[in-house]
Amino acid sequence: MTRRTLMAAGSMGLALVAAPRALARRADSHRERVEDLIARMTLQEKAGQLTLFNDPFRWRPGNVNPGDFDTDQEKTAQQIRDGHVGALFNGIGAEQARYAQRLALEESRLGIPMLFAADIIHGLRTTFPVPLGEAASWDLDLAERTARAAAAEGGASGIHQTYAPMVDVARDQRWGRVVEGAGEDVLLNKLFAAARTRGFQGDDLADPLSLLATPKHFAAYGAAEAGLDYNTTDMSEQTLRGVHLPPFQSAFEAGALCTMSAFNDLNGVPTSGNHWLLTEVLRDEWGFTGFVVSDYTSERELIAHGFAEDDRDAARIALTAGVDMSMQSGIYLAHIPDLVESGDVAMEVLDRAVRRVLMTKAALGLFDNPYRGADPEVERRVVGSPAHRDLAREAGRKSVVLLKNENKLLPLPKAGKRIALIGPFGADRSNVFGPWSIFADREMGVTFEEGFRAALTDASLLTVVKGSDVEAPLDGGIEAAVAAARDADVVVLAVGESHNMSAEAQSRVNIVLPAPQQALAEAVAAVGKPVVVLLKTGRALELSGAVKDAGAIMVTWFLGSEEGAAAADVIFGDHAPIGRLPISFSHYSGQQPYYYSRKATGRPELPEESEYKARFRETSNTALYPFGHGLGYAPVSYGEIVLGSETLPWDGELTASVSVTNTGDRPVDEVVQLYVRDRVASLTQPERLLKAFQRVTLAPGETVEAAFTLTRQDLLFIGRDMAPTVEPGWFDLWLAPNAQGGPHTQFRLVR
Ligand code: NOJ
């Protein structure tokens, strides 16, 4: 047996990168120019700089927002010439970017460059796994690299800004937008927010292949009541500051110079009209210097919220609160001049917003190099490059999570066994990319069938049967599937959600497999062959019946362009699964919102007593598959935790380590997770909270000691006075394979 020792930074969540100073320096050099422009701009031109419309000039996807996109090119061209629009979004293509930019530079009075933005969420033409799937890799370097590649494709297509990363903490799996972020945990969201921001923005925001990052949706959008998209959020300020705001802070500390105000109201005030949030917290407390863009018409939606009387009132409230740029509604353009002339909005308030937008354009290098990366030749070379496809395959295989693997059913052999690939996603290309892959190259997607055929030594052993549509039965589908299962040695069931069942406005009442697919699974399982489930999903699902009872379950999310190849890499054992769940799988939909870091309550569920406890009649509070769970192809055993001392001195450090051993015969990756619980505090604390993690790779038989260093900083919570605080006393500590169980000990923080 070999032995290695690895040390991990204890306070990983706190080790944030300072905002790149180069950005600030470049912007400073443009300050004079910006002030000169502001002095010369008319009110209409100022309102124009704060106005963002959809891009009618370039190739664009089907609409991803309500209402029609304006396709009138001449109208927009004239608005650019008149200085009535300063930014366009959701069109790509270098050639046409040059055209629109030239209009602004050469035909508008002041020649202020346009800003081009797009929803580049998990890749552009090359698509990487959906953000939730990629978060399952727990691999920050990977997230940074895929964001970098997405930025390169975007930059080469004449884009300057992406509306990503989504950093909303999501604890209710009914909410469709869970798929767009890093899941339920604060630390994971903070780390992915920073990594993705670094990836998009690179070392230099003015690099033509960098994109301005837009952490969204500010703020607490993921806490929508009942998981219903756009719904009200209402929470204590401690929860807001302790759970929902930290990922934003993390992205800003990594250099993000834009954020998007959200659709929801928060404690009675819509976030897109929330002065406290957008100005007092964001600017005055945190010192954010970028600009705030509204989410699509969210500033006009102040009217529907019952918070503004009409468009003019909504524009006044939003601008004064701190929304600098209005997306698509046009109400800034229509009403700002009059609001200022009538004295309802101070010129100073308007100038402040214009300054933020212009200074961000300066930071992007647009005043020096307005065409930036928009070069059709570069576009051809960068977009969909072989290197990006390789990265998509790597990211895909690192994102799958193996939930269950009875009797070593996986990996499957490449020869000698007849495989029936059954289900709506076996041969389907349209769902490999996942939601928010609006610019994906649809030709590029590799299906499960294609990936399997390429991996198998004898592809004639593979039979593919659809069996059912995603949400409707197929005539004769079950019969054909059952026949294929009878003829096979093993069944692979590719079932789950289609891409349009999650993401925006796709909240679900029951987070279950659609009934026709469940019926298919039951019929196929009844044949009696071993069943491997490939679960395509954008959220945690309630698993039941034949799907829950399958011999092996692998969550594939939506893996992107290389989905089938990446899945085959893992299924046939060329690579071991290494993913870990960034969300908990509850037993039932009715348990939502469900997350591991819940509070204990005064009547916590205890194994020895079940009466009068905070639990549902039907199930215990434990997860079916907990946050952090994921198997490799070899078992790993944990030793006892070894603490450097029983006490953590106030200004000192505490080391905690555990040895992990690969007891199997294949290499394995283990993600050792450090959780704590503050036993007694002046405010109740979660039952466990992730504080650090460390990946170790173990050869068969190898033992590695995973060591962590904790300081007082790791034990902070938001106190009654809203400031981060830490209190002396006893803490529980786990070094565990997931958020449920694992070796436990305790230590005392002493002052
Ligand atoms: C609305 C979505 O909430 C947001 O995430 C997206 O960036 C905008 N539409 C623009 O498409």
Instruction: Kindly report, residue by residue over 537-561, the tens digit of the pLDDT.
Output: 999 999 999 999 999 999 999 999 9
- Could you tell me the distance, in angstroms and rounded to a whole number, from the CA of residue 452 to the centre of ligand 1? 35
Ligand 1 pocket test: pick from 177, 200, 260 the residue with the most ligand atoms within 8 Å of its Cβ. Answer: 260
Residue-level pLDDT at 9 = 37
pLDDT of residue 632: 98
Question: Helices 347-363 & 31-40, crossing angle to 10 degrees?
Answer: 140
Give me the residue spans of the domains in the chain. 23-83+99-379, 398-591, 634-750
pLDDT in tens, 352-411: 999 999 999 999 999 999 999 799 999 999 999 999 999 999 999 999 999 999 999 999
Q: Rounded distance, CA 127 to CA 50, Å?
A: 31
CATH homologous superfamily for the domain 23-83+99-379: Glycoside hydrolase, family 3, N-terminal domain (3.20.20.300)
Q: Which residues contact 701 (CB under 8 A, 6 or more apart)?
A: 1, 2, 661, 662, 663
State whether the beta carbon of 216 lies less than 6 angstroms from ligand 1: yes
Helix axes 515-525, 477-486, angle to 10 degrees: 30
Residue 289 vs residues 282, 322, 324: alpha-carbon distances, Å: 9, 12, 12
Q: Is the dihedral of CA 367, 368, 371, 374 positive or negative?
A: negative
Which of 8-17, 299-308, 469-478 is predicted with the least confidence, judged by mean pLDDT?
Answer: 8-17
Two structure tokens written together for 30? 């443009």
Confidence of residue 59 (pLDDT cuts 50, 70, 90): confident
HSE of 446 in the Cβ direction (CA atoms, 13 Å)? 25
Would the CB of 22 count as within 6 Å of ligand 1? Answer: no
- pLDDT tens for 502-536 read 999 999 999 999 999 999 999 999 999 999 999 99
Q: CA-CA distance, 579 to 570, in Å (whole number)? A: 11
Is residue 36 exposed (0-12), middle (13-18) or buried (19+ Cβ within 10 Å)? exposed
**542 ligand 1 Cβ < 6 A:** no
Burial class (CB in 10 A: 0-12, 13-18, 19+), 664: middle
Rounded distance between C-alpha atoms, residue 742 and residue 721, angstroms:
34
Residue identified by tokens 């309630």 is 542
**pLDDT at position 13 over 50:** no
Give the ligand 1 atom nearest the CA of 164.
Answer: 7
Q: Cα separation of 292 and 297, whole Å? A: 13
The answer on pLDDT for 19 being more than 70 is no
Q: 290 C-alpha vs ligand 1 centroid, how far in Å?
A: 19
Q: CB of 218 closer than 6 A to ligand 1?
A: no
Burial classification of residue 138, based on how many CB atoms lie within 10 Å of its CB (0-12 exposed, 13-18 middle, 19 or more buried): buried
Domains 23-83+99-379 and 634-750 belong to one CATH topology? no
Q: How many A from CA of 594 to the centre of ligand 1?
A: 26
Instruction: Pick the closest to residue 494 from 457, 461, 524 (CA basis).
Output: 524
Distance, CA of 286 to CA of 250 (rounded, Å): 11
Indicate whether residue 177 lines ligand 1 (CB < 6 A): no
- Asked if 38 contacts 75 with a C-beta cutoff of 8 angstroms, the reply is no
Output the CA torsion sign for 223, 228, 229, 231.
negative
Q: Of all protein residues, whose CA lies closest to atom 4 belonging to ligand 1?
A: 295
Q: Is the CB of 61 under 6 A from ligand 1?
A: no
Structure tokens at 144: 């940074």
- The two tokens of residue 157 are 């297509």
3-state secondary structure of 551: coil
Q: Is 161 exposed, middle or buried (0-12, 13-18, 19+ CB in 10 A)?
A: buried
Peptide bond into 411 cis (omega under 30): yes
- Count CA atoms within 13 Å of residue 589 on its CB side: 14
Q: What are phi and psi of 105, to 5 degrees?
A: -75, -40
What are the E-state strand segments in 433-585?
462-465, 490-496, 531-536, 552-555
Q: What is the DSSP letter of 323?
A: -
pLDDT at 16: 33
Residue 469 CB coordination number (10 Å): 16
Mean pLDDT for the stretch of residues 427-453 = 96
Average pLDDT across the chain, whole number: 95
Structure-token pair, residue 195: 């990594």
Q: Is it the case that residue 287 has pLDDT exceeding 50? A: yes
Does the C-beta of 678 come closer than 6 Å to ligand 1? no
pLDDT band at 29 (very low <50, low <70, confident <90, very high): confident
Residue 22, Cβ density class (10 Å: 0-12 exposed, 13-18 middle, ≥19 buried)? middle
Amino acid at residue number 561: S
Confidence check: pLDDT of 243 > 90? yes
C-alpha to C-alpha distance for 491 and 596, rounded to whole angstroms: 33
Instruction: Kindly give the distance from the C-alpha atom of residue 295 to the centroid of ligand 1, in angstroms, as a whole number.
Output: 6
Amino acid letter for position 33: R
Measured from the Cα of 263, ligand 1's closest atom is 3
When comparing pLDDT for 478 and 18, which is higher?
478
Contacts of 236 (CB under 8 A, 6+ apart): none
φ, ψ of residue 550 in degrees (nearest 5): -60, 155
Q: Which atom of ligand 1 is nearest to the CA of 217?
A: 5
Closest Cα to residue 131, out of 82, 180, 83? 180
Pocket-testing residue among 53, 65, 159, 168, ligand 1, by greatest number of atoms within 8 A of Cβ: 65
What is the CA angle 184-189-192, rounded to 5? 140
**CB of 502 closer than 8 Å to CB of 176:** yes
DSSP 466: -
Letter for the amino acid at 624?
Answer: L
Q: What is the mean pLDDT of residues 417-424?
A: 98
Centre of ligand 1 to C-alpha 521, Å, is 36
Q: Does residue 296's CB lie within 6 angstroms of at least one atom of ligand 1? A: yes
Tell whether ligand 1 has an atom less than 6 A from the beta carbon of residue 119: yes
- Over residues 48-77, the mean pLDDT reads 90
Mean pLDDT of 232-247: 98
Structure confidence at residue 345 (pLDDT)? 98
Q: Which of 531, 516, 512 has the alpha carbon at shortest distance from 470?
A: 516
Residue 10 has pLDDT above 60, yes or no: no
- Spot the catalytic one: 265, 295, 313, 324: 295
Average pLDDT over residues 186-202: 98
64 lines ligand 1 (CB under 6 A): yes
Q: For tokens 């007092």, name the residue.
A: 280
Query: Cα dihedral angle (76, 80, 84, 85), rounded to 10 degrees?
Result: 80
Tell me the CA distances in angstroms from 581 to 310, 569, 625, 708, one per residue in order.
45, 19, 8, 21
Rounded to the nearest angstrom, the distance between the alpha carbon of 217 and the centre of ligand 1 is 9
What ligand 1 atom has the least distance to the C-alpha of 327? 10
Residue nearest to ligand 1 atom 10, measured at CA: 296
Is 18's pLDDT higher than 60? no
Q: For residues 702-715, give the mean pLDDT.
A: 98
Query: Which amino acid residue places its CA nearest to atom 1 of ligand 1?
Result: 296
Distance of alpha carbon 44 from alpha carbon 333, whole angstroms: 7
Percent of the chain whose predicted confidence (pLDDT) is above 70: 96
d(CA 298, ligand 1 centre) in Å? 10
Q: How far is the CA of 40 from the centre of ligand 1 (A)?
A: 33
Structure token digits, residue 83: 């200085």
The answer on pLDDT for 3 being more than 50 is no
Q: Specify the DSSP class assigned to residue 573.
A: T
d(CA 19, CA 434): 32
Q: Which helix (H) or strand (E) holds 334?
A: helix 331-341
The kind and range of the H/E element at 734 are strand 729-736
Annotation says 549 is catalytic: no
CATH topology (fold) of 634-750:
Immunoglobulin-like (2.60.40)
Specify the pLDDT at position 60: 78
The CATH code that applies to domain 398-591 is 3.40.50.1700
504 lines ligand 1 (CB under 6 A): yes
Contact 561, 439 (CB under 8 A): no
Report the pLDDT value the prediction gives residue 20, as an integer from 0 to 100.
Answer: 52
- Give φ, ψ of 744 to 5 degrees: -130, 145
pLDDT band with cut points at 50, 70 and 90 for residue 26: low
Residues 6+ apart with CB under 8 A from 164: 119, 120, 121, 122, 131, 147, 196, 200, 213, 214, 216
Q: Which of 235, 134, 146, 217 is nearest to 177 (CA)?
A: 217
CA–CA gap between residue 676 and residue 667 (Å, rounded): 29
**Which residue of 52, 54, 63, 64 sits with most ligand 1 atoms within 8 Å of its CB, as the best mutation to test the pocket?**
64
- Residue 5 main-chain phi, psi, to 5 deg: -120, 130
Distance 297 CA to ligand 1 centre (A): 10
Answer for the pair 431, 164: CB distance below 8 angstroms, yes or no.
no
